[in-house]
């Protein structure tokens, strides 16, 4: 049994295929969806998405959003979705280092506290990209 997976971002439809299963980064931890899953809706945090197509496993870095799970269909709405093959691992690593340094640097300063979430978000996005790219 297959699950119809649709990933939509503001820049267009990123993925639309029937897959075996998909693992998504929910706000309360990652969860997997197989065919016949309970119908529910949840918020997603920035992280890694793993798609099992039956022949291979695809990894992608997704940003915040939410997912609608039906019995045999999953709709994922996220701000961005980058598949592993689209990510340059070396550059992603550099970006992650930079985001980390920025996060550490801003911690404690007044401005840093005010924008802490933004830096945190940038950092987790960079980490997600690295980990998706490493699975290539």
Residue 65 as a binder of other proteins (CB under 8 A): the answer is yes
Single out the segment in contact with other proteins by CB under 8 A; choices: 36-44, 52-60, 96-104, 105-113: 36-44
Identified binder of other proteins from the candidate list 11, 56, 110, 111, rule CB under 8 A: 11
90-94: long-range contacts, CB 8 A cutoff, minimum separation 24? 92/126, 92/129, 92/130, 92/133, 93/130
CA distances from 91 to 119, 126, 130 (A): 18, 10, 9
What are the structure tokens assigned to 39, written together? 């119908």
Residue 120 as a binder of other proteins (CB under 8 A): the answer is no
Binding mask 83-102 for other proteins (x = CB under 8 A): --------------------
C-alpha angle with apex 28: 51 to 20, nearest 5 degrees? 20
Identified binder of other proteins from the candidate list 13, 17, 94, 135, rule CB under 8 A: 13
Phi, psi at 131, each rounded to 5°: -70, -35
Positions touching other proteins (CB under 8 A) are: 8-13, 26-28, 38-44, 64-66, 68, 75, 77, 79-80, 114-115, 118
């Amino acid at each position: 049994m297959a699950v119809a997976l649709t990933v939509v971002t503001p820049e267009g439809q990123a993925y639309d295929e029937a897959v075996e299963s998909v693992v998504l980064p929910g706000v309360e931890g990652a969860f997997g969806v197989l065919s016949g899953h309970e119908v529910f809706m949840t918020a997603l945090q920035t992280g890694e998405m793993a798609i099992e197509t039956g022949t291979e496993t695809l990894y992608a870095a997704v940003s915040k959003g939410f997912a609608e799970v039906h019995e045999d269909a999953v709709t994922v709405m996220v701000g961005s979705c980058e598949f592993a093959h689209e990510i340059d691992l070396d550059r992603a690593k550099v970006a992650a280092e930079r985001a980390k340094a920025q996060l550490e640097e801003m911690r404690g300063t007044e401005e840093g506290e005010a924008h802490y979430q933004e830096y945190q978000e940038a950092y987790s996005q960079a980490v997600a990209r690295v980990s998706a790219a490493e699975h290539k």
